[in-house]
Amino acid sequence: MKKYLFILLAWWSQSAVFAQGGSLLDLLGEEEETEFTTNAFKSSRVINSQSMEMLQVGTLDFRILHRFGTLNQGYKEFFGFDQASMRMGFDYGVLPNMSIGIGRSTSKKELDGFVKYRILWQSKGKRNMPLSLIWVSGITYNGLPQPLSQPDVEVTLSRRLAYYHQLIVGRKFSDRLSLQLSPTLVHRNIVDNILVPNDLFALGFGGRYKLSQRIALVWDYSYLINRFPANLQSNPLSLGFDIETGGHVFQLHFSNAIGMNERAYLTDSNDNWLKGRYTFRVQFVENFSGQEK
């Protein structure tokens, strides 16, 4: 009789707990943990654009990017390898949700810097967040001796500057697939003529598909909403592979954009993929913290 009474009391206690939305783990004082999403991308950039991935605190990424001439130049120009532009940059994880970076490009002798802040972090468990939300703001400085197309206009510090702001909305759908959208605003203090807008709006699309433990297919594309003249410009499109070897990441990409910061690849003239005018890009990322991506 005592055995049946004990079973009845145990069943009643468990039913009461579940009726209140709890579980037996709650009776033991164990709480469900929040699991944050990581490794959405192998790098803090997709190709041209920033990715939803953040650097860990204290992580320093040293980046060397080489972008060569167009492949349709033929063997006399070694299929574009005789010409190359370069960007060298340092990105650093300041806080769990904030990174900063600086860089220098040979194109227009341009200096750039940015701040990247994560507003929302995709997670599941105790806190269920379906996506990540990241804000990026940056500035560029044109270092050419004569950066303006109008020789009669005075060259001032302000006129050498441009700014950009970007909101990244991203989600890692599975261990293999990550996608993101990135509406962007670029402001240039001076433009070639009154028909060219100082404020340029763009909508970026980026993604990553994991092919193996160390190799992933990546792509990004930006649709320029109000660029002038629109019929003579190609939107930046890039495709390629990320190859990870420990703390190193090699990125092998094809792109129709020469510039390697937001001001450059969104506002400068880009080549046409349909006419075979795209470039080959090699990027090397050295991670000084030993962080596994």
Domains by residue range for the chain, with CATH:
39-287 (2.40.160.40)
CA distance 281 to 130: 33
CA distance 20 to 242: 48
pLDDT given at position 276: 53
SS (H, E, C) 129-196: ECCEEEEEEEEEECCCCCCCCCCCCCCCCHHHEEEEEEEEEEEECCCCEEEEEEEEEEEECCCCCCCC
What region does 80 belong to: left with phi over 0, alpha with psi -120 to 50, or beta? left
Q: Is the separation of the CB atoms in 68 and 80 below 8 Å? A: yes
For the purposes of burial, counting CB atoms within 10 Å of the CB of 57, is it exposed (0-12), middle (13-18) or buried (19 or more)?
middle
CA distance 123 to 111: 35
Residue 288's alpha-carbon distances to 42, 60, 63, 88, 248, in angstroms, are 15, 5, 11, 15, 9
Residue 204's alpha-carbon distances to 9, 14, 219, 223, 278, in angstroms, are 60, 51, 11, 6, 19
* Single-letter amino acid, residue 50: Q
Q: pLDDT under 50 in the chain at which residues? A: 5, 8-9, 16-19, 278, 280, 287, 289-293
Q: Quick count: other Cβ atoms within 10 Å of Cβ 231?
A: 5
CA distance 241 to 199: 32
- The helix/strand count (H/E) of the chain reads as 3, 14
Return the ∠ at Cα 232 (arms to 229 and 236), rounded to 5°.
100
Where is 238: in which H helix or E strand?
A: strand 237-245
Q: Is the separation of the CB atoms in 132 and 123 below 8 Å? A: no
**How far does Cα 46 stand from its chain's mean position?**
5
